[in-house]
Amino acid sequence: MKKSQNIQIINDAEGRPAFVVIPYADYLAKREQDNDLVPHEVARRMLVDDLSPVRAWREHLDLTQKEVAARMGISQPAYNEMENGGGKLRKATREKIAAALGITPGQLDV
């Protein structure tokens, strides 16, 4: 993201910076760059607790297996197998799970 000359800083009642307003195009460019980031808590659950990326994301988003399975149009046992199967997910499966979780497929490729 290139530096914008149209940045506006809005101060609070005490005169301290409270908000920054940037041009929408700059916001979209930054958002696109950050699209595949993984929150610290999700990464920690995968690395420390040895959870699959799918399970770590599901639990981070406070969803049940049944809820995600319903979003995907499959049974909970079928979803459980995807989440805990231990193998690498097919690209199409990863994309369906990501869509059901509201994340990008790249965020499951950790």
At 12-44, the pLDDT tens digits run 999 999 999 999 888 877 776 766 788 999 999
Whether residue 22 sits in one domain with residue 48: no
Whether residue 73 sits in one domain with residue 55: yes
State residue 87's pLDDT score: 75
Mean pLDDT for the stretch of residues 59-87? 94
State residue 1's pLDDT score: 46
Whether residue 44 sits in one domain with residue 19: no
In angstroms, rounded to a whole number, what is the distance separating the alpha carbons of residues 66 and 74? 9
Give the list of residues 6+ apart from residue 40 with CB closer than 8 angstroms, or none: none
What radius of gyration, in Å, describes the C-alpha atoms of the chain?
19
pLDDT band at 88 (very low <50, low <70, confident <90, very high): confident
> Which one-letter DSSP state was computed for residue 14?
T
State residue 91's pLDDT score: 92
Whether residue 22 sits in one domain with residue 52: no
Q: How many domains does the chain have?
A: 2
pLDDT at 2 over 70: no
Closest CA to 87 of 54, 39, 58, 64: 54
Q: What is the span of the domain harbouring residue 102? A: 40-108
Q: Is 48 helix (H, G, I), strand (E, B) or coil?
A: coil
The CATH code of the domain that includes 100 is 1.10.260.40
Whether residue 49 sits in one domain with residue 19: no
Whether residue 50 sits in one domain with residue 21: no
Q: Chain-wide mean pLDDT for the chain?
A: 89
